[in-house]
Amino acid sequence: MKKINLQNFSIFYVSCLFCCTIVSCKNSNINQENVQIHKPYFGLNPSTDKLEIFAPAIVSAGLDEGTITFTPDGKECYWTLLLSGFETILTSRLENDGWTRPEVASFAGKYYDGWPAIQPDGKKMFFHSARPVPDTTTGITAEFNIWCMDRVDNAWSGPRLVNTPVNGSENSTCPSVSLNGNIYVSKRFSDGSEKLCRSELRDGVYQELEMLPDNVNVLKDNFHGYISPDESYLIRPCYGRSDNIGAGWNYYISFRKNNNTWSDLINMGKEINSVYCAGAPSISFNGKYLFFQGIVATTITPSLDRKYSLQELIDIDIKGPSKGSTDIYWIDSKIIEELKYIE
């Protein structure tokens, strides 16, 4: 896999960040001064019944963003940024003088890293990476593996490779972790298929991977699964089903039952699937907010209704839904409670 030229990346990233932060945000309650706001989630609250772009021009900056995760207090966040085929992890945190400007996380940038997932108790963070495996004698020889960091004195330890059987000879990606430490991953198999799998954590040791049932793994390629903190439901994207809304991918949910079986997938409805989904769902640790990566189909602008300045065009393009790239959307999570009764 190609390594990124870090010097060129730094120049590109600083240029993008400069463009994003100079925007006057007429269509949002975020502006240049709001970086100084001293509230979790950048001081924002989502609509209860319609999708909104999360933190436009700060987190959703008109690039390809997705897979966001927060510390339990909502004052530190990490998300994935895709740059010309290279995936890295950005971060921003609430300090005494406000939210820091987004930057590449200290542990990321050199290798292909993505899909950060903080354990609901805030003690660990997981992510997938194509960084070199330090010891191939463990039987871990895949290109993509799951890595983990521990929370130590309000910072993260250095990344360490998660042991087998979570990792192995085939790719493991897209980690999601429950409060009790059980981990869910997208696992590639030797026949070329990819399945959503679960590994229980018992006495600090991950158990053999369990493939989720066929009514959850309904495709050849199954990925981007998110497990709730209590393991009561799993959200995943799917395409080609008879109840799809529009074309492309939709988000579906499966509820875990008392006998450890899973409900058939339920379409999450037009409120969620009004944009093309692109994977990467998550729930805030207070359970109130649903985040996911979405894409708005490219539309042709026939003409401009007046003479716009360049700054106004930047404002329209960054502050509105991205056309052909992904943004992070959020909505009140009450929709999940409502879906429990649809089976």
Q: 160-161 and 145-152: which strand pairing? A: antiparallel
Cα–Cα nearest to 127, from 110, 114, 142: 114
**CATH match for 6-339 among 3.40.50.2300, 3.30.70.270, 2.60.40.650, 2.120.10.30:** 2.120.10.30
- Residue corresponding to tokens 């999570």: 333
pLDDT in the model for residue 274:
81
> Residue type for 257, please?
K
pLDDT in the model for residue 331:
92
pLDDT in the model for residue 35:
55
Pairwise CA distance, residues 178 & 232, whole Å: 10
For the stretch 132-138, contacts whose Cβ atoms lie closer than 8 Å and that sit 24 or more positions apart, written own/partner, are 133/161, 134/161, 138/163, 138/164
Please, which pLDDT band fits residue 30 given cuts at 50, 70 and 90? Answer: very low
Pairwise CA distance, residues 64 & 58, whole Å: 13
Residue count (the chain):
343
User: pLDDT by residue (tens digit) across 121-130?
Assistant: 999 999 999 9
Cα–Cα nearest to 336, from 268, 274, 238: 268
The whole model's pTM is what? Answer: 0.84
Write the DSSP assignment of 218-279 as a string of letters: -SSB----EE-TTSSEEEEEEES-TT-SSSSEEEEEEEBPTTS-BPPPEE--TTTTTSEE-S
Q: How many helices (H) and strands (E) does the chain have?
A: 3, 25
User: pLDDT by residue (tens digit) across 252-284?
Assistant: 999 999 888 999 999 999 889 888 776 779 999
Domain limits, the chain: 6-339
HSE-CB of 67 using CA atoms within 13 angstroms: 26
First to last CA, the chain: 44
Other beta carbons within 10 angstroms of residue 158's beta carbon come to: 10
Please, which pLDDT band fits residue 32 given cuts at 50, 70 and 90? Answer: very low
In this predicted structure, the answer to whether residue 82 has a pLDDT above a threshold of 60 is yes
Residue pair 44/259 in contact by the 8 Å Cβ criterion: no
